[in-house]
Amino acid sequence: MNSQRPITAESNEPPLLEVEGLGMTFGHGPEALPVLEDVRLRLGQGECVALIGPSGCGKSTFFNVLAGLVRPNDGKIRLRGRPADSLRGIVAYMQQKDLLLPWRKMLDNAVLGLEIQGAPRSEARRRARELLEVFGLDGFEDRYPDELSGGMRQRVALVRTILCGKNIWLLDEPFGALDAITRREMQRWLLKAFSRFKASVLLVTHDVEEALLLADRVYVMTARPGRIRADLDVPLDRPRRVTQSEMVRLKEELLDLLESRPEGEA
Amino acid sequence: MKSRILNVVLPLCVLLAIGLIWEAGVKVFNVPHYILPSPGRILVVMWDRLGLLLFHGLITLLEVALGFLVALALGVGLAVAIYASRMVERSLLPLVIASQTVPVFAAAPLLILWFGYGIGSKVVMAAVIVFFPIVINTVQGLRAADPDTVALLKILEASPRQIFFKVRVPQALPYFFSGIKIGVAVSVIGAVIGEWVGAQRGLGYLMIHANAQLQVELVFAAIGILSLLGVGLYALVSGLERVLVPWRR
């Protein structure tokens, strides 16, 4: 087992992030649309936790709440045991769209976060160059996003995410738009990034294999309104292979959870 | 590369063919030169009176350029105000859009009355014409930013000012340029119409003058210079766009 990654955070220390009873409803009165209901989860320091569920289960809304873009109607967020409104300022965020600015060359896209924080330009560029090299992007610094492949663009987005220097990463289906081969490649890059930067990661995905390849724990969500219906440990060393017998068993378990209806529902 | 050369060469060949047919037609049917001069005669007159044509051409160019600068300053200012304030948007944007249906050319006599026979009335005319496409397109461009990108910047703790300059302004540039391109060619027409109605200088003035004296070659020559002016301004704007919006292909 990977000693650096505690599987559960049941020590005396409060976990890095705790969410309890989070609820979110869009609209009012008869048209009110409950999107999230009593969402609870925990993320330990250095842990990678995946959130998996059918599309429309409010995963992205949940991330927007965490990132402080929308206010929840209900619930508590605690950071290392202390109540917090959101994780604004301490999270980095990456989604399916790479969101590279088309008018910025690769290097200038990578430094965006640092630039906003007001970091000195030459220092920011030096750090970006270093990281771009780690992710096999050196030599392309002066290319516009239009001139890059999907996998490269997503890696630039990852570099931009890392460079923000935040220790919690919210990854919202980061590789959802890529083809299967590129996705596998990106997952390897991501694993490399986790261990190198000791980040704590919350990963939303609807790819069961992706969740099992990357995460220490997997939360399964229900369809709208999104609730956490199960919590599954993945006690396997990395790198993992999808063909491992343990993986196959876990995959089966996850798929069963996703496909069956939760108790109490017709 | 080869196809790009052809893109220039082929239209030129067609133009040349039209010129030859025109030349031949004038000869064969014996059309009097004060009705329809042959292209050859026009070119000769254009060469002989080049100084005169350039003088009046520069006046017209000046009018268009000044009008453009005025429109740029006011148009971008108004666009930002419309973007920034719901109140301004709700009170002014419908008027700006509706005013596009007003035929500005028809107001030329009024503009001469208000701004005089000099360059002022033509500057206003050109400005009014470029103003609307700049406003409309810039507003549209400022709003075109991808909401997810804006959200990303917020998560990165960007200030509204940073979001404006790092996302909205660059996003608006291509829209802004297409507005200018719509306006620039028409603004030349605006200046010329202003000159027709009342002026002492400019290509429009020259045309009216030459027409009255049956110097039809000179009228054609002035039209030729005007066309070059329009094409040149358009090319200038396109070139500027290529420099300032290099990510768009």
Taking only the tens place, the pLDDT of each residue in B203-224 is: 999 999 999 998 999 999 999 9
DSSP state of A29: G
User: Mean pLDDT of all residues in chain A?
Assistant: 86
Do residue A101 and residue B157 have CB atoms under 8 angstroms apart? no
Which pLDDT value is given to residue A266? 43
3-state secondary structure of A231: strand
| Residue of chain B with shortest Cα separation from A63 | B155
Which pLDDT value is given to residue B249? 56
What is the nearest CA distance from A129 to chain B, expressed in angstroms? 20
User: In b/e form, how buried is each residue of A75-100, taking b as 16+ CB within 10 angstroms?
Assistant: bebbbeeeebebbeeebbbbbbbbbb
Q: Which residues contact B104 (CB under 8 A, 6 or more apart)?
A: B125, B128, B129, B190
**What separation, in Å, do the N-terminal and C-terminal C-alpha atoms of chain A show?**
40
Task: Using the predicted structure, report yes or no on whether residue A231 has a pLDDT greater than 50.
Answer: yes
Tens digits of residue pLDDT in A151-170: 899 999 989 988 988 889 99
**What separation, in Å, do the N-terminal and C-terminal C-alpha atoms of chain B show?**
16
Tokens of A230: 């199960």
Q: What is the pTM of this model?
A: 0.80
Tens digits of residue pLDDT in A167-219: 899 998 888 888 888 888 888 888 888 888 888 999 998 889 999 999 999 99
Q: Are A42 and A78 in contact (CB under 8 A)?
A: no
**Residue A67: band (very low, low, confident or very high) from pLDDT cuts 50, 70, 90:** confident
Which residues of chain A does B153 touch, with a Cβ-Cβ cutoff of 8 Å? 116
> Pick from B139, B226, B216: which is nearest to B191 by CA?
B226
The interface predicted TM-score (ipTM) is 0.80
Residue A85 CA neighbour count, 13 Å, CB half: 6
What values do phi and psi take at A199, rounded to 5?
-85, 160
Which residues of chain B does A163 touch, with a Cβ-Cβ cutoff of 8 Å? none
Which residue has tokens 């419309």? B82
For chain B, which residues lie within 8 Å of any Cβ of chain A, measuring from their own Cβ? 146, 148-149, 151-158, 162, 166-167, 170-171, 173, 245-249
Do residue B148 and residue A97 have CB atoms under 8 angstroms apart? yes
B56-244 belongs to CATH 1.10.3720.10: yes
Which pLDDT value is given to residue A34? 87
Q: Which residues contact B155 (CB under 8 A, 6 or more apart)?
A: A67, A68, A69, A88, A91, A92, A93
Which pLDDT value is given to residue A29? 82
Amino acid at A225: P
Selecting from B156, B166, B173 the residue whose C-beta is nearest the C-beta of A164 gives B156
Which residues of chain A does B148 touch, with a Cβ-Cβ cutoff of 8 Å? 95, 97, 99
Which pLDDT value is given to residue B6? 87
Amino acid at B136: I
Which pLDDT value is given to residue A202? 93
Q: In what order do the strands lie in the sheet with A33-43?
A: A33-43, A17-26, A74-79, A82-84
Do residue A69 and residue B167 have CB atoms under 8 angstroms apart? no
Q: Are B45 and B224 in contact (CB under 8 A)?
A: no
Do residue B166 and residue A112 have CB atoms under 8 angstroms apart? yes
Tokens of A57: 């289960």
Do residue B166 and residue A67 have CB atoms under 8 angstroms apart? no
**Residue A4: band (very low, low, confident or very high) from pLDDT cuts 50, 70, 90:** very low
Rg of chain A taking only CA atoms, in angstroms: 19
Which pLDDT value is given to residue B56? 95
DSSP state of B144: -
What values do phi and psi take at A228, rounded to 5?
-85, 120
How far is Cα B201 from Cα B222, in angstroms, rounded to an integer?
A: 13
The size of chain B, in residues, is 249
Q: Are B121 and B194 in contact (CB under 8 A)?
A: yes
Do residue B155 and residue A68 have CB atoms under 8 angstroms apart? yes
Question: In order of start, what are the domains of chain A with their CATH numbers?
Answer: 1-88+168-174+199-261 (3.40.50.300), 91-165 (no CATH)
**Residue A265: band (very low, low, confident or very high) from pLDDT cuts 50, 70, 90:** low
Listed by start position, the domains of chain B span 56-244
| Residue of chain A with shortest Cα separation from B174 | A103
Selecting from B146, B155, B171 the residue whose C-beta is nearest the C-beta of A93 gives B155
DSSP state of A1: -
Specify whether the backbone of B202 is left (phi greater than 0), alpha (psi in -120 to 50) or beta: left
Do residue B167 and residue A99 have CB atoms under 8 angstroms apart? no
Nearest 5 degrees, angle CA B78-CA B81-CA B83?
Answer: 110
How far is Cα A72 from Cα A95, in angstroms, rounded to an integer?
A: 20
Interface test with B, best of A116, A153, A168, A172 (most B CBs within 10 A): A116
Render B87-132 in DSSP notation, one character per residue: HHHHHHHHHHHHHTTS-GGGGHHHHHHHH-SSHHHHHHHHHHHHHH
Interface test with A, best of B148, B149, B155, B169 (most A CBs within 10 A): B155
Which pLDDT value is given to residue A167? 85
Which residues of chain A does B149 touch, with a Cβ-Cβ cutoff of 8 Å? 99, 101
| Residue of chain B with shortest Cα separation from A91 | B155
Amino acid at A138: D
User: In b/e form, how buried is each residue of B200-229, taking b as 16+ CB within 10 angstroms?
Assistant: ebbbbbbbbbbeeeebbbbbbbbeebbeeb
- Residue B136 vs residues B66, B101, B105, B106: alpha-carbon distances, Å: 20, 14, 20, 22
Nearest 5 degrees, angle CA A213-CA A215-CA B150?
Answer: 105
What is the nearest CA distance from B177 to chain A, expressed in angstroms? 15
For chain A, which residues lie within 8 Å of any Cβ of chain B, measuring from their own Cβ? 64, 67-69, 88-89, 91-93, 95, 97, 99, 101-104, 112-113, 115-117, 144-146, 164
How far is Cα B146 from Cα B158, in angstroms, rounded to an integer?
A: 15
| Residue of chain B with shortest Cα separation from A67 | B155
Which pLDDT value is given to residue B192? 92
Ranges of chain B whose pLDDT falls below 70: 1, 249
| Residue of chain A with shortest Cα separation from B247 | A103
How far is Cα A262 from Cα A112, in angstroms, rounded to an integer?
A: 43
What is the nearest CA distance from B247 to chain A, expressed in angstroms? 5
Which pLDDT value is given to residue B20? 94
Which pLDDT value is given to residue A2? 43
Do residue A99 and residue B152 have CB atoms under 8 angstroms apart? yes
Q: Are B180 and B170 in contact (CB under 8 A)?
A: no
Work out the burial of residue B92: count CB atoms within 10 Å of its CB; fewer than 13 is exposed, 13-18 middle, 19 or more buried: middle
Q: Which residues contact A32 (CB under 8 A, 6 or more apart)?
A: A25, A26
Selecting from A69, A112, A113 the residue whose C-beta is nearest the C-beta of B151 gives A69
Which residue has tokens 């930002």? B80
Selecting from A104, A112, A144 the residue whose C-beta is nearest the C-beta of B156 gives A112
Tens digits of residue pLDDT in A87-101: 888 888 888 889 999
